[in-house]
Structure 1
Amino acid sequence: MSGNESSIVQFDNVGLRYGTDREVLSDVSFTLYPGSFYFLTGASGAGKTSLLRLLYLAQRPSRGIIRMFGTDIITEPRGNLPSFRRRIGVVFQDFRLVQHLSAFDNIALPLRVAGVPENEVERPVADMLDWVGLDHRADARPATLSGGEQQRVAIARAVIARPEILVADEPTGNVDPEMAVKLLRLFEALNRLGTTVVVATHDVHLLKKVPDSLIMRLDKGRLSDPTGALRYPPRRDLRQDAGA
């Protein structure tokens, strides 16, 4: 795969194995474009979580090439990776909220880790709580929140720093169908602001809920391309380019 300056992520013949086991991902190649919305789907055990771990730089591949933000991540020194991770928001399937912190402080965590002055933290966190409909639960700790509320806190934490890429692993798996649609609408709103969104899901009914989304399908560790998402920029991007 040749370099593409308009892409935000490129995988080229990537393989991943854990230890001496067989590969869980084999010859995975795709390109993600800025401001696009992707669903990553496939049966349980297809390799979705493993692929997402590569995307948010929690795992290095066993082989192949990964370029992110124009940089070869494989050859990049490990000490430089945190600066790349700060450009990626992650919504984990199990939320991973800090139990002794309030909803406010969980959401504020990425800003504080990045060294944002405390007097510049309160307003964006308050705005984010309002955005996810939890302004009345700012002081609540995770144990007192419902599953859907915890998920919304996790999403707010993931997007508070306006990441260039948002990666979500089965974000609707622990909520009812009505809440699942509401969460997708939050992802769409972020996507409209320019963030590239990748949502892993096994729920095929969700795939039609975002009309402009593109579908990446994993089957036994191999990626298929039912919408042409992996080879070409989305048509809406091409229209924007033509009108620029």
Structure 2
Amino acid sequence: MTRHQSDMTAIVQFENVGLRYGLDSETLSDVSFSLAAGGFYFLTGASGAGKTSLLKLLYLAQRPSRGVIRLFGEDVVTLPRTRLPGFRRRIGVVFQDFRLVPHLSAYDNIALPLRVAGMEEKEIDAPVAEMLSWVGLGDRGQARPATLSGGEQQRVAIARAVIGRPEILVADEPTGNVDADMARRLLTLFEALNRLGTTIVVATHDLPLMSQVTGAQMMRLDKGRLADPTGSLRYPARSRQAE
């Protein structure tokens, strides 16, 4: 892909991005890549390679120490802070530590993005009930996070992240607390969302999981750098015409 073509189709662009926390050495160094709108990407690498830090840059929880990051065609590094909430609403996030609101039920946690977006209450019930059923929690809607197992909390977090059909979904080890059958089911949900046009970025150590998504592409971080210095991605791009 040429640079001109990449600029026309990329939903995410990193150019020579570096990230440093305080006075420590850089956690990420000279990271450059482009993600095509509607692509499915896995981010992998050893523990401590910088995967979570890169995801934080993607979902705008962290600003880089240097370099350029463009989301949806705009430079988000210089973006006024008043515009950041609007960008964040276009990105769904599955956190490794779930970050459910403890005093809200599973139902209300999942409904939260729809309420923030201003959807009327009468329109919320059906999609929330559908998501609860999809993640196998149809009978746990009124349960609060403290009464749910780790795997159940993970499923609520995933349902909350995808219910608004975000333009980008960022997931940090989303299947780490569920069994193999549920991991496959959740991956199927991500694939369905991807077919609707959402760009998916999943950080995982699970190599068998990665092999299950036909046409997915992979980025590998090694000590804060992309393993391929050109930032190119392995595996052929997903063909929409073939689906």
TM over 0.5: yes
Given the alignment, which residue of 88, 91, 94 partners 1:88? 91
Question: Structure 1 residue 126: deviation in Å?
Answer: 1.6
In 1: Cα distance, 2:83 partner to 2:23 partner: 28
- Point out where structure 1 has 5 or more consecutive residues left out of the alignment: none
SS at match of 1:67: strand
Alignment CA distance shift 1:86-1:63 (3 Å) = same
| Residues 1:161 and 2:164 are matched in the alignment | yes
User: What is the one-letter code of the residue matched to 1:83?
Assistant: G
Structure 1 stretch 172-181 or stretch 91-100: which is displaced more? 172-181
User: What is the one-letter code of the residue matched to 1:89?
Assistant: G
| Residues 1:111 and 2:114 are matched in the alignment | yes
Q: Note if contact 2:216-2:236 (Cα within 8 Å) is conserved in structure 1.
A: no
SS at match of 1:136: coil
Given the alignment, which residue of 15, 18, 28 partners 1:15? 18
Tell me the C-alpha RMSD between the 2 structures.
Answer: 2.2
Q: Note if contact 2:42-2:201 (Cα within 8 Å) is conserved in structure 1.
A: yes
- Calculate the TM-score normalised by the size of structure 2: 0.91
Q: Note if contact 2:216-2:238 (Cα within 8 Å) is conserved in structure 1.
A: no
In 2: Cα distance, 1:87 partner to 1:160 partner: 12
**Partner of 1:178 in structure 2?**
181
User: What is the one-letter code of the residue matched to 1:106?
Assistant: N
Aligned residue runs from structure 1 range 65-84, under 5 A: 65-84=68-87
SS at match of 1:18: coil
Q: Note if contact 2:19-2:29 (Cα within 8 Å) is conserved in structure 1.
A: yes
- Calculate the TM-score normalised by the size of structure 1: 0.91
| Residues 1:132 and 2:135 are matched in the alignment | yes
- Point out where structure 2 has 5 or more consecutive residues left out of the alignment: none
Q: Note if contact 1:215-1:229 (Cα within 8 Å) is conserved in structure 2.
A: no
Question: Structure 1 residue 231: deviation in Å?
Answer: 9.6
In 2: Cα distance, 1:157 partner to 1:222 partner: 31
Given the alignment, which residue of 44, 54, 59 partners 2:57? 54
In 1: Cα distance, 2:150 partner to 2:141 partner: 16
User: What is the one-letter code of the residue matched to 1:65?
Assistant: V
Q: How many aligned positions are there?
A: 239
SS at match of 1:173: coil
Q: Note if contact 2:42-2:216 (Cα within 8 Å) is conserved in structure 1.
A: yes
Percent identity, aligned pairs only, is: 74
